[in-house]
Amino acid sequence: MAISRSDVERIAHLARLEIDAGQAEDVRAKLDAIFALIDELNAVDTRGVVPMAHAQDLSLPLRDDVVTEADRHALFQRTAPAVEDGLYLVPKVIE
- CA dihedral over 69, 70, 71, 73, signed as positive or negative: negative
CB 1 within 8 A of CB 35: yes
SS (H, E, C) 2-18: CCCHHHHHHHHHHCCCC
CB 88 within 8 A of CB 82: yes
- Is there a domain that residue 72 lies in? no
- This prediction has a pTM of 0.49
- Is there a domain that residue 18 lies in? yes
- Domain, as residue range, for 10: 5-42
Domain count for the chain, please give it: 1
- The predicted pLDDT at position 37 comes to 94
- The predicted pLDDT at position 61 comes to 87
- Is there a domain that residue 91 lies in? no
Digit-by-digit pLDDT tens for the chain (95 residues) are 688 989 999 999 999 999 998 899 999 999 999 999 999 999 999 999 888 888 888 888 898 999 999 999 999 999 999 999 989 999 989 87
- Is there a domain that residue 54 lies in? no
